[in-house]
Structure 1
Amino acid sequence: MRSNHVATNQGIWDADAPNWVEVGEKLWRAEAPEWGNWGNPEASLNMLPPDMSDKDAIELGCGTAYVSAWMARRGATVTAIDVSPEQLSTARRLAKEHETDITFIEGNAEETGLPDASFDFAISEYGAAIWCPPDLWLREAWRLLRPGGQLVFLGNHPLSLICSPLDGAPANLTLHRPYRDMWGADWTKVEFEPSGVCFNLTMADWMALFAEIGFKVDKYQEVYAPDWAKGERGAVPADWAKSYPIEQVWHLSKPA
């Protein structure tokens, strides 16, 4: 299934696009960025430079492009790419409604076709960060960045994946799959809430890949659910995510 992940994930996100319209509209209206399944505040994660007025920025796997909107408001010249035309339809509508200038591209973040060294800053909140093989999309991000450029991405923590039952049921306190040689998971045929093909690595493999490509790790963050959280998001119960990290954020840079 991994070889067919692009077409599979495009189909999933096209079909699911209507379910993300309301969330997209809410986050486009947000006064300050909030990140991940539980809306952790920008003040705690610092995923965006405060002033982006001199930066060319790209969002890799933009969905409804609220992250792109946040960057544009900070002054960046923004390009946003996504494989799903239905998600981009919502993104383009919201950009027009909010009078926000963003260049949208329907395409694969693993192979954008954009020129080398075109951007100062790249970001992915989920998007390419989980739906594309790391070896492919990280090399593409490296190619797109100028020397001194930054890449920030947020995705599932490896622990949340190995604690997720094979049938797609919510994460629990049991280890359900091997950590060694982790590559991700195929959720297309699970019993509970089937979705697409996602990718992840062990911590050592993430670090080895960054080093092989040439990225410098500037900061790493593990993200938990906030104290007020209740219920379940992204097939992870709030009580689980208060004790164990649901997400991770990598802050990388391309040496000058």
Structure 2
Amino acid sequence: MTDDYVAINRRIWDEDAPNWVKMGETAWAGDPEWGNWGAPEANLRLLPDDMTGMQAVELGCGTGYVSGWMARRGARVTAIDVSPEQLATARRLADQHGADITFIEGNAETTGLPEAAFDFAISEYGAAIWCPPEAWLTEAHRILRPGGQLVFLGNHPLSLICAPENGAPADRSLHRPYRGMWGADWTRVEIEPSGICFNLTIGDWFALFHRLGFAVENYQEIYAPDWADHTRGSVPADWAKDYPLEQVWHLRKV
């Protein structure tokens, strides 16, 4: 892993920002859906139904639609992202939808936000995959109030160890070790190079949560729906019907 992952990922997301505008516009206008195949909120329940009066923060907000969903539910929302180009879209869409959201350009590992200031924190991809887990989870724990909730969605470890090292779509072989996994550097792969992502084994996730002071309240594995018939996020639908593409952790600060 290179020490320049923050700058690399910022550049990747700045350059790719125009490709996410249409998706952001659609998500802002719609109801909450999660992950590569749009799992409905009614099935996963990542957000509290009523967030009236809650202080909420999104860590790695991209175009800001998750923050928009929380504001619509009554939360007072702060959102942080490392990419100024993504934030430009987020701010425009917040204005368009009349959402009063505080957007901050910065690193979710060192937000600069006050200690114990938030009731609820969330990351859909964002910090959940683009920051080293111990770094961003330590910061999330710091800014949450005692009893505060953290929910995050990212790639399942299986989707990484089944991903060929040349960047080709995931298949049914194991291409890298599970033990000691940290993530992957996709900057120099042959097929669709991108940034540097992070992940852990399930056991290492649990050990990290315990060490930092998070209790696990729920864990969900997300598969492709029966109707899916194409590749998303470099994962073929047929693979993701048999193996989980994504995972959701529901934590609470002890």
Letter aligned with residue 123 of structure 2 = S
Partner of 2:215: 216
State the Cα distance separating 1:106 from its structure 2 match. 0.1
- SS at 1:2 equivalent: coil
Within 2, Cα distance between the matches of 1:2 and 1:104? 28
Within 2, Cα distance between the matches of 1:69 and 1:2? 33
Partner of 1:247: 246
Matches within 5 A, 1:117-156: 117-156=116-155
The runs of 5 or more residues in structure 2 that have no matched partner are none
Within 2, Cα distance between the matches of 1:171 and 1:231? 13
Are residue 108 (structure 1) and residue 136 (structure 2) matched? no
Are residue 172 (structure 1) and residue 176 (structure 2) matched? no
State the Cα distance separating 1:41 from its structure 2 match. 0.5
Partner of 2:6: 6
Letter aligned with residue 23 of structure 2 = V
Within 2, Cα distance between the matches of 1:23 and 1:97? 15
Partner of 2:75: 76
Moved >3 Å (runs of 4+): none
State the Cα distance separating 1:225 from its structure 2 match. 0.7
Q: TM (normalized to structure 2)?
A: 0.99
Within 2, Cα distance between the matches of 1:3 and 1:51? 40
Within 2, Cα distance between the matches of 1:187 and 1:137? 20
State the Cα distance separating 1:54 from its structure 2 match. 2.0
Identity percentage over the alignment?
A: 73
Q: TM (normalized to structure 1)?
A: 0.98
Partner of 2:227: 228
Matches within 5 A, 1:158-169: 158-169=157-168
Partner of 1:201: 200
State the Cα distance separating 1:228 from its structure 2 match. 1.0
Matches within 5 A, 1:90-105: 90-105=89-104
Within 1, Cα distance between the matches of 2:68 and 2:196? 27
- Offset from partner CA, 1:34-54 (integer Å, 9 cap, x none): 001110000111000000002
Within 2, Cα distance between the matches of 1:111 and 1:55? 22
**Aligned-residue CA RMSD (Å):** 0.5
Letter aligned with residue 72 of structure 2 = R
Within 2, Cα distance between the matches of 1:250 and 1:18? 30
- Offset from partner CA, 1:202-246 (integer Å, 9 cap, x none): 011000000000100000000001111111000000110011000
- Offset from partner CA, 1:14-68 (integer Å, 9 cap, x none): 00000000000000010x2000111000011100000000210000000000000
